[in-house]
């Protein structure tokens, strides 16, 4: 792969620059923008009082000093918690950050950050929800994107937002409500129905895990032949970056955007 081709690979910050700052915090996303990431990835969950917050796990035990499921807590309860100190204690003892940058992050605040970034920064949003919220996460998400003018791309301009999910039904809900918004099908394994590069109806971006790409590199070519873009998660090791580049993927989703940009020769 040529240098020009490598430089076309989009670098997406997974939960922000989450190697360097606590995942899904404003600090992590500010760092990712500072590092030069092309796009930011986030997971969204619905609180008990109807706010979308950027939290990966169903429960907040791992990434805060609180306990309980996101769906059972109000935003005010989450706002009172610390979502940052665990990073310093358990992963990077040298990391320190302000309380303002490490409280629970709403999707609304993240959209403000992206809008005010001073350059084009895209957003890859993964929907997370318990079964009882069926459809509500997508509905609230699209309403919020509409408020920011991001629910549909302008004519002749690529969308700044794409919606990702492991659930084909979730993506279908998004497509029904906003047909021009790109959707991404996340793959943790390759089922027989997807083996030849087939994706759910209306989806044109595949997001296989790096484990799939390592074990089945030919699958990337099948996806490409089927006309799909390929976005690979979560790519942190130099040899995996090289593999993705050699296979011609369209995007690399990583916890280490600065390191991946260097590996691709972009800094």
Q: Write the DSSP string, 145-204.
A: HHHTT-SSPPTTS--SEEEEES-HHHHHHHHHH-TTS-EEEEESS--GGGTTS--STT--
- How confident is residue 152, by pLDDT bands cut at 50, 70 and 90? confident
Cα-atom radius of gyration of the chain, to the nearest Å?
18
- How confident is residue 99, by pLDDT bands cut at 50, 70 and 90? confident
Task: Tell me the CATH number for domain 3-20+27-44+106-263.
Answer: 3.20.20.190
State mean pLDDT over 221-227. 96
pLDDT of residue 194: 85
Indicate whether 227 pLDDT > 90.
Answer: yes
pLDDT of residue 93: 45
Three-state SS at 75: helix
List active site positions. 14, 56
Q: Write out the two tokens for 5.
A: 């081709």
Q: Mean pLDDT score of the chain, rounded to an integer?
A: 93
Tell me the CA distances in angstroms from 118 to 34, 60, 112, 113, 258, one per residue in order. Answer: 11, 32, 11, 10, 18
Q: Which residue has the higher pLDDT, 208 or 85?
A: 208
- How confident is residue 133, by pLDDT bands cut at 50, 70 and 90? confident
Q: Which residue has the higher pLDDT, 68 or 92?
A: 68
- How confident is residue 96, by pLDDT bands cut at 50, 70 and 90? low
Q: Cα–Cα–Cα angle for 223, 225, 228, nearest 5°?
A: 50
% the chain with pLDDT above 90: 83
- Nearest-angstrom CA–CA distance, 198 and 200: 7
Q: How many CA atoms lie within 13 A of 176 on its CB side?
A: 9
Token look-up 């760092």 returns 31
Q: Which residue has the higher pLDDT, 182 or 91?
A: 182
Q: Write out the two tokens for 207.
A: 């997001």
Indicate whether 84 pLDDT > 60.
Answer: yes
Task: Give the residue extent of every domain in the chain.
Answer: 3-20+27-44+106-263
> Running DSSP on this structure, what letter comes out for residue 122?
E
Pick from 50-54, 89-93, 115-119, 213-217: least confident: 89-93
Beta strands in the chain (DSSP E): 10-14, 39-46, 52-53, 122-127, 161-165, 183-187, 205-208, 229-232, 251-254
Give the burial class of 33: count Cβ atoms within 10 A of its Cβ; 0-12 exposed, 13-18 middle, 19 or more buried. Answer: buried
Indicate whether 131 pLDDT > 80.
Answer: no
CB contact set of 251 (below 8 Å; sequence gap of 6+)? 9, 10, 11, 12, 38, 39, 229, 230, 231, 232
Indicate whether 97 pLDDT > 70.
Answer: no
């Amino acid at each position: 792969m040529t240098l020009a081709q490598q430089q076309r690979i989009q670098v997406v910050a997974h939960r922000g620059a989450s190697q360097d700052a606590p995942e899904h915090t404003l600090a992590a996303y500010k760092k990712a923008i500072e590092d030069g990431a092309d796009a930011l990835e986030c997971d969204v969950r619905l609180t008990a009082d109807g706010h979308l917050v950027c939290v990966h796990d169903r429960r907040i035990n791992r990434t805060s000093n609180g306990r309980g499921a996101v769906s059972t807590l109000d935003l005010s309860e989450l706002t009172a918690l610390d979502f940052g100190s665990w990073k310093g204690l358990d992963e990077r003892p040298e990391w320190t950050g302000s309380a303002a940058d490490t409280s629970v992050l709403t999707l609304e605040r993240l959209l403000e950050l992206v809008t005010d970034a001073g350059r084009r920064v895209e957003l890859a949003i993964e929907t997370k929800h318990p079964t009882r919220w069926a459809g509500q996460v997508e509905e609230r998400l699209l309403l919020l994107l509409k408020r920011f003018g991001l629910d549909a791309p302008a004519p002749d301009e690529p969308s700044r937002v794409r919606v990702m999910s492991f659930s084909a039904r979730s993506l279908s809900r998004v497509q029904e409500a906003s047909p021009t918004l790109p959707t991404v099908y996340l793959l943790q394994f390759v089922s027989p129905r997807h083996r030849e590069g087939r994706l759910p109806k209306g989806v044109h971006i595949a997001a296989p895990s790096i484990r799939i790409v390592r074990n089945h590199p030919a699958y990337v070519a099948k996806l490409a032949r089927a006309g799909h873009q390929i976005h690979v998660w979560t790519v942190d090791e130099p040899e995996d970056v090289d593999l993705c580049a050699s296979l011609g993927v369209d995007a690399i989703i990583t916890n280490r955007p600065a390191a991946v940009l260097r590996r691709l020769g972009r800094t």
